[in-house]
Amino acid sequence: MKKFLHSFEKSLLMAGVASLVVIIVGLIAGWKSAVLFSNGFFWAGAILIIFGVLSVFGGYGLRADFGVVYSQSAGDMNILERTKLWISDTHQSYGVYLMLLLAGVILILISILVANLF
């Protein structure tokens, strides 16, 4: 449960930073309507989700690369240690994906609220 709360806090922080970036870009670009800000929040959320998906694909690319697997087998690690490393790498890439997915969904929800309330 603590891990989930920690990941949720990270997602909120990431969504907050992305929101600040959208607001600053909107103020610099001179956005005057709520629709423009709503679009900015939506695209920021979509970009975060895409980065999360790419992190999973990158982790899969490393696990599926024969050179990486072969180099790990040439070292001092036995099969149990290599399996633990593989599991931790998989867990890390999916953890990043879930964190970015949650931050992206928060930003998309903010975009819906901005479009409907203002």
The pLDDT score that the predictor gives to residue 7 is 87
The pLDDT score that the predictor gives to residue 25 is 97
pLDDT in tens, the chain (118 residues): 788 888 899 999 999 999 999 999 999 999 999 999 999 999 999 999 999 999 888 766 666 666 666 666 666 777 788 778 778 878 888 888 999 999 999 999 999 999 999 8
Residue recorded with tokens 């900015």: 40
The pLDDT score that the predictor gives to residue 58 is 77
- The total domain count for the chain is 1
Q: Which domain holds residue 20?
A: 2-117
pTM passes above 0.85: no
